[in-house]
Amino acid sequence: MFSKFQSLPSYFGGKRKLVKYIFKPIKKTEGVFIDAFLGGGSVSLYAKAKGYKVIANDIAFRSVIIGRALISNNSVKLETEDLARLFLKAKHDGFIRKNYCPKVFTSKIADFLDNAIVNARAVENETKRHLLLHLLIKFILSCRQFGKFTHTRDTLDLEARKWEWPLRSKSHAPKNLRMIQNPMMTLEKLKDEINHGVFDNHQDNEVHQKDVFDFLKKVTGDVAYFDPPYPGSSSYEVEYGILDNILAGKKLDNKPSSFSNKDADEFLERMFESAKHIPQWIISLGQNKEDVGVKPDKLLAMVQKHRKAEVQMLDHKWSVSNAGGRGQSDNIEYMIVTI
Mean pLDDT of 81-100: 98
* Mean residue pLDDT across the chain: 93
> How many other β-carbons are positioned within 10 Å of the β-carbon of residue 287?
20
Q: Helix and strand tally (H, E) in the chain?
A: 16, 7
Confidence bin at 54 (pLDDT 50/70/90): very high
Distance CA 39, CA 236 (A): 9
pLDDT over 50 (residue 322): no
Task: Give me the pLDDT at residue 327, please.
Answer: 47
Who has greater pLDDT, 327 or 16? 16
pLDDT over 60 (residue 52): yes
| Bridging pattern class, strands 53-57 and 32-35 | parallel
pLDDT over 80 (residue 270): yes
165 touches 175 (CB < 8 A): no
Confidence bin at 318 (pLDDT 50/70/90): low
Task: Give me the pLDDT at residue 320, please.
Answer: 45
Residues 306/35/60/259 CA torsion (nearest 10 deg):
30
Task: Give me the pLDDT at residue 230, please.
Answer: 87
Please list the residues that pair with 186 across neighbouring strands: none
Distance CA 279, CA 54 (A): 16
The pTM (predicted TM-score) of the whole model is: 0.93
**Which tens digit of pLDDT belongs to each residue from 237-268?**
889 999 999 999 999 988 777 666 657 899 99
pLDDT over 80 (residue 35): yes
**Which tens digit of pLDDT belongs to each residue from 213-246?**
999 999 999 999 999 988 877 788 889 999 999 9
Who has greater pLDDT, 52 or 316? 52
Q: What percentage of the chain has pLDDT greater than the value 90?
A: 82
Mean pLDDT of 71-91: 98
| Domain layout of the chain by residue ranges | 3-74+203-338, 80-196
**Which tens digit of pLDDT belongs to each residue from 105-155?**
999 999 999 999 999 999 999 999 999 999 999 999 999 988 889 889 999
Task: Give me the pLDDT at residue 321, please.
Answer: 40
The 3-state DSSP class for residue 280 equals: strand
Closest by Cα among 331, 305, 308 to 320: 331
Task: Give me the pLDDT at residue 284, please.
Answer: 97
pLDDT over 80 (residue 328): no
Mean pLDDT of 177-197: 97
Closest by Cα among 265, 269, 335, 334 to 306: 269
Q: Which residues of 104-133 are buried (b: 16+ CB within 10 A; e: fewer)?
A: bbbebbbbbbbbbbbbbeebeeebbbbbbb
Task: Give me the pLDDT at residue 259, please.
Answer: 64
pLDDT over 50 (residue 323): no
Closest by Cα among 81, 199, 78, 85 to 127: 78
Contact partners, residue 299, CB within 8 Å, separation at least 6: 268, 283, 285, 311, 336
pLDDT over 80 (residue 56): yes
Given CATH 3.30.450.40, say whether it is the number of domain 3-74+203-338: no
Task: Give me the pLDDT at residue 37, please.
Answer: 97
Task: Give me the pLDDT at residue 326, please.
Answer: 44
